[in-house]
């Protein structure tokens, strides 16, 4: 509304100075119109630059997020650097487990941080600070500027489980290629690693059991061997997988 007041005052100033013949009336109306023109202009500038008539409000939302990795065994939070200095990042994540195209954080007035959590699920806490008018009167006069609920800043905090990877899109692409290139060798090495570890574990377990129970029957020894083999195989397979992937991740980050 203040823009219309400015226009009316400007017209009134023009009319007062050009069409009113009586000096006293012309001066009074011209001064009043000039004050309104200058005052309206100053307030409009203050509203635009200093957010006159407005105050900040902060909204906080929390949502569960999902990995953008196509592999269920490898959870990822990805980011893409903006510029060459890596000072600004856009993070990519899924808002549903079946999402095809990842969601992403905004670039303007946005700060992103990533923390690990002991929880099993990942979540994103968004804090958005906006400029809003203090009351209806201010909005009536300045609302035409369209700046109500204008974003002042965004703070995004990601909380991801310890087994999640936080990689750049470039690193993720490189990691995918490395996994594919080393898949056959990793499978071969894993089998040898597990075999060696399981053999040693079964031997140590049986030796310890026989010390405690020298009269252990062959059937009990067989049962213990099978149980130990099954448990140790799963344990060392996961251990090798974690170690091998860590090496590939380090290589992908170079």
Q: What is the DSSP string of 201-246?
A: HHHHHHHHHHHH-TT--HHHHHHHHHHHHHHHHHHHHHHHHHHHHH
pLDDT of residue 84: 76
Q: Is residue 141 part of a domain?
A: no
Q: What is the mean pLDDT of residues 32-56?
A: 97
116 has a pLDDT exceeding 80: yes
The residue-averaged pLDDT of 14-23 equals 92
59 and 158 in a single domain? The answer is yes
Residues 194 and 154 in one domain: no
- 39/23 same-domain check: yes
The residue segments making up the domain with residue 123 are 54-136+146-163
Q: Is a pLDDT exceeding 80 seen at residue 85?
A: no
H-helix or E-strand spanning residue 126: strand 122-133
Could you tell me the pLDDT band of residue 247, with boundaries at 50, 70 and 90? very high
Mean pLDDT of 212-223: 94
Based on the fold, state whether residues 92 and 153 are members of the same structural domain: yes
Q: What pLDDT shows up at residue 174?
A: 96
Q: Is residue 14 domain-resident?
A: yes
**Percent of the chain at pLDDT exceeding 70:** 100
pLDDT at res. 127: 98
CB 105 within 8 A of CB 155: no
User: Where is the domain boundary, 13, 30, 50?
Assistant: 50
Last residue of a domain, one of 14, 35, 50: 50
Mean pLDDT of the chain: 95
Interval 88-97: pLDDT, tens: 999 999 999 9
Tens-place pLDDT, residues 225-237: 999 999 999 999 9
Provide the edge-to-edge strand list for the sheet that holds 122-133: 54-65, 122-133, 150-161, 110-117
Q: Tell whether 58 and 153 lie within a shared domain.
A: yes
Q: Whole-angstrom Cα distance, residue 13 to residue 35? A: 10
Residue 213 located in a structural domain: yes
Q: Is residue 8 part of a domain?
A: yes
Same domain, 64 and 154: yes
Q: Are 133 and 148 in contact (CB under 8 A)?
A: yes
Mean predicted confidence (pLDDT) in 137-147: 96
In a domain, 71, yes or no: yes
Of 254, 245, 243, 228, which Cα lies nearest the Cα of 69?
245
Statement to judge: residues 58 and 159 lie in one domain: yes
Q: In this structure, are 188 and 226 located in the same domain?
A: yes
Taking only the tens place, the pLDDT of each residue in 174-217 is: 999 999 999 999 999 999 999 999 999 999 999 999 999 999 99
Query: What is the rounded CA–CA span in Å between residue 162 and residue 226?
Result: 32
196 occurs within a structural domain:
yes
Claim to verify: residue 65 and residue 43 sit in the same structural domain: no
In the sheet that holds 76-82, the strands lie side by side as: 103-104, 88-93, 76-82, 165-168
Domain count, the chain: 3
């Amino acid at each position: 509304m203040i823009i219309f007041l400015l226009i009316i005052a400007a017209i009134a100033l023009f009319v007062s100075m050009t069409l009113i013949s009586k000096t006293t009336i012309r001066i009074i109306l011209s001064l009043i119109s000039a004050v309104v023109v200058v005052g309206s202009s100053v307030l409009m500038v203050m509203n635009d630059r200093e957010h006159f008539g407005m105050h900040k409000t902060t909204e906080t939302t929390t949502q569960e997020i999902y990995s953008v990795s196509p592999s269920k065994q490898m959870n990822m939070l990805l980011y893409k650097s903006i510029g060459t200095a890596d000072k600004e990042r856009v993070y990519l994540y899924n808002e549903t487990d079946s999402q095809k195209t990842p969601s992403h954080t905004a670039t303007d007035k946005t700060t992103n941080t990533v923390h690990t959590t002991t929880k099993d699920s990942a979540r994103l806490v968004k804090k958005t600070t906006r400029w809003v008018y203090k009351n209806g009167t201010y909005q009536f006069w300045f609302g035409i500027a369209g700046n109500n609920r204008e974003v002042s800043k965004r703070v995004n905090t990601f909380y991801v489980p310890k087994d999640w990877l936080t990689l750049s899109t470039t690193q993720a692409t490189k990691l995918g290629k490395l996994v594919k290139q080393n898949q056959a060798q990793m499978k071969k090495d894993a089998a040898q690693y597990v075999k060696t570890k399981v053999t040693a574990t079964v031997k140590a377990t049986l030796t310890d059991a026989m010390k405690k129970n020298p009269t252990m029957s062959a059937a009990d020894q067989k049962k213990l061997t099978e149980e130990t083999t099954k448990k140790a195989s799963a344990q060392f397979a996961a251990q090798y997988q974690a170690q091998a992937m860590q090496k590939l991740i380090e290589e992908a980050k170079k």
